[in-house]
Chain A
């Protein structure tokens, strides 16, 4: 066992913290208000090498692990979750790196860390959320291409992406529901792709979210990820194993950021003639918040480390994601509470953290789905 970060990991963490503190703070409020993706920030982050750390060197990345990527995510989210999601401009590249053919990796991966392309993954549909196997977007074989029709909902980077990994039905006749799907790469400039940006989200408003319509979108057969159809569901599960750890790091980041603000506030704010941090009730809150954060961090470190060492454990991953999401929401709530009325107005940023935190309990599998996964691992099929 060894619970210490390596020097390289520490350097990455420090660099990420400095970048976020230097660049995010000023614009966070503005991008939240405008609901706009911070393109300049994303470019800078690419230049500094923060984007796509886990992409192999031969495809233009740094060849590091999911753990390092998650650690950068934590530091970014600690300063601002919305801006922090510039790291999601590689969302779905995991699926290409894991299952894509060599020419797909060469074509689609290198532009991501260079800041020349943004991607996303389109899984959810209006009527297919947690129940992924009810996805209905259809990719029908037509000679040497697919014709794609359907609607995707809540797609991160949907209106800014250059290409998307889209989960579609390719084999509706397959007996097992799990074998009916395939993952296709769809460039967003293809005729028939229409993205409508969703505004008015509760939080992470600097992160782009869109509804997508595919109407007779023609995609060459070579855009199928992997070499055979029917693998989409399993590929998605692998993607989730990775992205749930990353989401867990987001929960830890938003919680740590909220805790930082709370500590600063209770050391400055005086009531009844003393700093509110001198009251035991406040001290207990702070102690509990810090403990939850520490526990959640320990779990995502472990889950990430295990993935990077080829020991993928969906139970640990789900535990990390579920607890980190809940910790983010609880800590942001307590941090706002400690700020009192000031916490309730935008000037103090904590209200934004309060709004931002909630998403981790919902995306990449709701916490209810995480619990299903954990229970299934504990009980087996009943």
Chain B
């Protein structure tokens, strides 16, 4: 056992913190207000090597692990979760890394870390949320091409991405529902592709989200991820095992940032003649918040370490994800509470935390789905 970060990990964390503290505050509010993705910030993050750290050196990344990726995520989200979406420009790259063919890896991965391309993955549909296997976007084989038709919903980076991994039905007649789907890479400049940015999200407004229509979009057969059709569902589960840890860490970062703001406010703000922090009622809140965060972080670190060491544990990953998500929502609720009226106003940036925190309980598998996974691992099929 060893609970210490390596020197390299400490250095990465520190660099990420300095970058976020230096760059995020000036754009955070504006990006939230205008619902725009901070492109210039993303470019800078790429230049400094914060984007796609888990991508192998052969494909333009530094070849680090999920652990390093989440350390960056934590520090970024500590300052602003919306701006931290600059790291989410590699969303779905794991599909290519884990299952893509060599030429796909060479073609699509290097652009991500160089700041030349943004990607995403399109799974959810208007009527297929938690129930992934009811995805109905169809990719029909016509000669040497797939012809894709359907709608995708709530797609991160949908309107800014250069390419997306789409989960589609390719094997409609397959008996087992989970063998009907394939992951196909679709460039967003193809004819028949239409993305509409979704506005007025509760939080994470600097992160792009879109609704997507595919109307007879043609892609070559070689855009299939992997060698065989029908693997999409299983590939997705493997990708979720990684992306869920990353999302869990968004929660840890948001909560940690909020806690620090609450601590500093509790030390400055005076009522009844003494700082808020001198009241036990406030002290106990802060102690609870710090405890939930520490527990969340411990679960996330362990889950990430295990993934990086080839010991993938979906139960632990799901635990980290729902627990950290819930902890963040609870922590930020208390952060607003401690700030009182000031916390309720946009001016102080606290209400943005409140709105941002909620996402992790929904995205990449709702917390209810995480609990089903945990229960299934513990009880078996019932």
Q: How far is the CB of A72 from chain B (nearest CB, A)?
A: 16
Q: Which of B34-42, B234-242, B297-305, B346-354 contacts A (4 or more CB under 8 A)?
A: B297-305
A-B contact count (CB 8 A): 138
Q: Which residues of A contact B370 (CB under 8 A)?
A: 287
C-alpha gap A322/B290 in the complex (Å): 11
Q: How large is the interface on B (under 10, 10 to 19, 20 to 34, 35 or more residues)?
A: 35 or more
Tell me if B287 and A316 are in contact (CB < 8 A): no
Cβ of A271 under 8 Å from chain B: no
C-alpha gap A372/B277 in the complex (Å): 11
Cβ of A315 under 8 Å from chain B: yes
Q: Which residues of B contact A380 (CB under 8 A)?
A: 267
Cβ of A131 under 8 Å from chain B: no
Cβ of A173 under 8 Å from chain B: no
Cβ of A346 under 8 Å from chain B: no
Among candidates A9, A287, A318, residue contacting B371 with C-beta atoms closer than 8 Å: A287
Cβ of B64 under 8 Å from chain A: no
C-alpha gap A299/B327 in the complex (Å): 15
Contact flag A275-B287 (CB < 8 Å), given A295-B323, A382-B278? no
Closest A residue to B373 using CB positions? A287
C-alpha gap A306/B379 in the complex (Å): 34
Contact flag A305-B295 (CB < 8 Å), given A3-B305, A283-B379? no
Among candidates A4, A263, A374, residue contacting B290 with C-beta atoms closer than 8 Å: A374
Q: How large is the interface on A (under 10, 10 to 19, 20 to 34, 35 or more residues)?
A: 35 or more
Contact flag A382-B277 (CB < 8 Å), given A2-B1, A294-B316? yes
Tell me if A277 and B379 are in contact (CB < 8 A): yes
Cβ of A296 under 8 Å from chain B: yes
Cβ of B294 under 8 Å from chain A: yes
Tell me if B6 and A1 are in contact (CB < 8 A): yes
Q: Which residues of B contact A306 (CB under 8 A)?
A: 3
C-alpha gap A301/B294 in the complex (Å): 13
**B: which residues have CB within 8 A of A?**
1-6, 9, 67, 263, 266-267, 274-275, 277-278, 280, 283-284, 286-288, 290-291, 294-296, 298-299, 301-302, 305-306, 315-316, 318-319, 322-323, 368, 370-376, 378-380, 382
7 additional contacts, CB 8 Å, given A1-B3, A278-B382, A295-B323? A2-B305, A3-B302, A286-B379, A287-B319, A290-B378, A294-B299, A294-B319
**A: which residues have CB within 8 A of B?**
1-6, 9, 67, 263, 266-267, 274-275, 277-278, 280, 283-284, 286-288, 290-291, 294-296, 298-299, 301-302, 305-306, 315-316, 318-319, 322-323, 368, 370-372, 374-376, 378-380, 382
